Structure 1
Amino acid sequence: MTGPTRHTRNEELLLARISAAAGRWHLGKRRATYAGAAHTAHAKALWNRGIRGLLTFVGYGRTSAPKVRDDARLDLYVHGMTVAVQGRIHVVRYDTTSVFRTGTAHDSARVDTVYTLTDVDGERVELRGLPEYGDAAAWRSEIQRGVIRAQLPQALAALDQGERLHFGGIWLTGEKVGYGEVGVRWPQVRHLRIRQGAIELDVDGTWQGLGSEVSEIPNVFVLRALVERLGPDGVR
C-alpha cells in the first residue's frame, strides 16, 4: 500500500497557479491530467466573437519559428483545459477555441499527430504526445468531445437563425453545404470522411472532394458532427 503522493514546493506552486487560472476562466471541475509536449507561437489570425468567430479562423498561417519540444502539463476540465509550459499557463475554453489537426508520417507504422489550439488570448499552442507515456489518444479524444459538446449546439442554433458558418473554405447553411461557389443540399449528403488528409463528402453515394486539407479546417470534428446531424439520417 502506498501513501499519498508528495509534491515539491515548485509542484505545489504550479498546481496553485493552474487552479487559479482555471477558476478565473470558469473551466469547472478537473477531469484528468496528462504529460505532453508543447510549442507556442502568436496566432496570425483575425478573431470575431460569437459563433461565426468561433468556427471561422481567418488568415491561419504556419509559424516560421523553429519547433522546439518543451515538456508540458495538460489539465483537462469540464469546459476547457490548461497547458503549463515554460513557466506559463495557457487557458483554452472549449466554446471559443479553434483546433487544427496535422499529422507527420515518420514511417509506415507511426504518424505523429499534432493538435494546434488557440487559447483565450488568441495564441496558438501546439500539442504533441510523448512516446514514453502513450496516452495522447486519450487527451485528444477528450478535447474533441469537449469542443463538440460546447460548440455543436451553438452552431445548430446559428444555422436555425439563418446564419452561414465557415470552416476554412467550407461553408454551411441550414439548406446546403459547399466549397466556393458549389453547394449541395443536405438531403443529398450522407457522410464526411478524411482520406489522405483531404475532406470528402458522400453525395448521393459518390465521394466528392471539398478542396480543403484537414490541416486547414478548424474544429473538423465539429464539422463532421454537423454533417452527420444535418444529413438525411440525422436528427436536429
Structure 2
Amino acid sequence: MDARLDLYDHGMTIAVKGRIHVVRYDTTSVFQETARHPHGSARAATTRAYALTDVEGKRIVLQGRPEDSDAEEWGSEIRRAVTHAQVPLAWAALERGERLAFGDVWLTLEQVGSAAVSARWPQVQQIESENGTIRLNIDGSWHRLGPTGATLPNPFVFRTLVERLRADGMRS
C-alpha cells in the first residue's frame, strides 16, 4: 500500500498522493473486498481492499496483502474501531423505530429484508454471507437478500447488529 495511515481514538488520517484524508469512525462507510489471485504457482495470493469515505464524502481505497504487509493489522483495527463507534448509534436508531439501510439490505427491531424478501426476526433461523451475497434461512428455506457483494457498507457493523437482533428475536 502506498499510503500512510495514522489511527486515532475517533478516526484516522490517510496520506495518499500528497493529500491527507480525514476519516471519522462514527460516520464512515467501509466497503470490504477480499480477492484471491493466482500467484504463478499452486499457491494463491490474497488481496484485501477497504474503500472508506472521508469527511468530505470522497472514497479512498486501501489495499494490502496480509502475507507481506501489515494489512491484516490495520484492517482489523478499522473493523474494530468502526464497529465500536457505529453499533451504539445504530442500536439507538433502531430503538427509536428507525429502519437502517446497508446497501440493498435493511434492518428494523422487528424485521430484516430487501426489495425481494423480508422476515420477522423470530423466523430467521440463520443468516450468512456467501460469495458476497447475504442469505437468510427463513423457517427452513434459504432466501437471497439481493445483490450485495462489495456494495454492503460496514458489513461488520451489519453482522454485529444481526447477531443481536436474531438473539433478541429468538427470545420473543
For normalisation by structure 2, the TM-score amounts to 0.87
Matches within 5 A, 1:155-170: 155-170=90-105
Q: Give the Cα separation in 1 of the matches to 2:97 and 2:168.
A: 21
For residue 109 of structure 2, give the secondary structure of its aligned residue in structure 1: coil
**1:173 to partner: Cα distance:** 1.2
Task: Provide the residue aligned with 2:16 in structure 1.
Answer: 85
| Cα deviation, residue 207, structure 1 | 3.7
Query: Residue 191 and residue 74 in structure 1: after superposition, are their counterparts in 2 closer, same or farther (change >3 A)?
Result: farther
Alpha-carbon displacement from aligned partner over 1:127-179 (angstroms, at most 9, x marks no partner): 01157843211111111111111111111111111111111111111110001
**Which protein shows a greater Rg?**
1
Farther-moved stretch of structure 1 (216-225 vs 104-113): 104-113
Instruction: Provide the alpha-carbon RMSD of the alignment.
Output: 2.1
Q: What is the rounded CA distance, in whole Å, between the counterparts of 1:98 and 1:191 in structure 2?
A: 25
Structure 1 runs of 4+ off > 6 angstroms? none
Note if contact 2:127-2:135 (Cα within 8 Å) is conserved in structure 1.
yes
The separation in 2 between residues aligned to 1:211 and 1:83, in whole angstroms, is 32
| Structure 1 equivalent of residue 155 of structure 2 | 220
Question: What is the SS of the residue equivalent to 1:211?
Answer: coil
Flag the 1:105–1:133 CA change in 2: closer, same or farther, 3 A: closer
Q: 1:233 to 1:159 in 2, by over 3 A?
A: closer
**Structure 2 unmatched runs, 5+:** none
When the two structures are aligned, how many residues end up with a matched partner? Answer: 166
Q: Are 1:128 and 2:59 counterparts?
A: no
Larger mean Cα displacement after TM superposition, 188-197 or 120-129: 188-197
User: How far did residue 186 of structure 1 move?
Assistant: 0.9
What SS does the aligned partner of 2:146 have? strand
Give TM-score scaled by structure 1 length: 0.64
Partner of residue 5, structure 2: 74
CA distance in 2, matches of 1:134, 1:109: 16
Does the 8 Å contact 2:7/2:13 carry over to 1?
yes
Rounded to whole Å, the distance in 1 between the matches of 2:61 and 2:5 is: 12
Shift of 1:204: 3.7
> Structure 1 residues 105, 160: closer, same or farther in 2, change over 3 A?
same
Q: Which moved more, 1:129-138 or 1:96-105?
A: 129-138
Instruction: Say which SS state the counterpart of residue 134 (structure 1) adopts.
Output: coil
**Structure 1 residues without counterparts, runs of 5 or longer:** 1-36, 38-70
Matched residue type, 1:85: V
Give the counterpart of 2:47 among 107, 112, 132: 112
- Matching of residue 185 in structure 1 with residue 116 in structure 2: no
Alpha-carbon deviations, 1:55-114, whole Å to 9, x = none? xxxxxxxxxxxxxxxx11111112111111122111110000000112333126223121
Give the Cα–Cα distance (whole angstroms) in 2 for the partners of residues 136 and 190 of structure 1. 34
Report how far residue 208 of structure 1 moved: 2.6
